[in-house]
Structure 1
Amino acid sequence: MDKLSETVAMEKLATKLMRRAQRLGLQPCDAEDMAQEALMRLMQRMGRSTIETPEHYAMIILHNLARARWRAKVELTELEEDTASTLPEGDSRLAVEALRHAIKALPADQAQIMQLVLQGELSPNAIAQLLDLPTGTVMSRLARARVTLRAQVGLDAGTPIATLL
């Protein structure tokens, strides 16, 4: 390839690189700088070894330069507790563990019913059928268990136990 055709090929490649850099979201002045940097690195590499597809190689260089620039511009800020995307789990895990211990301390008939409530969304009727008990008995044991648990965990009488979870 003679010098003139090589120069024309590099000018065409520079134009393609410039357009690609702009499509990568760079400002025009940054896009021009990145395109020139990619061309310079390509020419340095071509001086040391043979490159079969210079255009493809230059595009890879450009993408790597863009990635490096994006990484450098990322500003990391430490999240405050109230801006965290997920709520801290420590307090709820401690509350659940305290509730489990309180349930184990209940009388056996009440603890059995509360364990079934904890395991799934069973209605008092379903629990009564499962334990072969009248629904009223299940309801009264459940009510007594809730009163005892509220007292042990330190909740007011009107506060639902689910607020712990």
Structure 2
Amino acid sequence: MNRIVAVWLALAGLTGWWSLMAVGAGESAFLPGLLAVVALGCALDAGVRERVMAGTLWAFSGSGLRLVVIVLGAAFLWQLVGVELALLMAGDVLAYIEVVTAVSLMAARTRLAPVKAALVVRMRQAVAILRTWPAVLARSARAARPVRRRPPPADDGDGALPDWALA
């Protein structure tokens, strides 16, 4: 028995134990049982092992994984179709708009967090640069200028209209 067969036998034992624990807990043991049978088949036959490893590598390669993510995303979006159609057919457009607005605001908040973090970092860098700016540090305080006092306007006693002679 080589190391690869020992690893597959250990994996078959672990998944078999998992299926026994699932049956004891009253749950479904289909997935752990299936994994135990596949692992036992891989431990016993090299051809089965090669087919399982080729399928696993294809599933977790870029194209296979991308396909799975797209299908799952479409399934998640399809769950919302019933709610959207129910709100739309009920004629309660305001509730529909509220739901769409709430979802949009939640999405905007998650998109805003990295932008806000980047802005805080840039502002801190700008403040650090301004604090160490040589022109600011080297500038001395200017001397205060004396206040010039203007002479008061001449008062001729006639009041507000100096050009007019009123009788």
- Bin of the TM-score, shorter chain as denominator length: under 0.3
Structure with larger Rg? 2
TM-score relative to the length of structure 1: 0.25
TM-score relative to the length of structure 2: 0.25
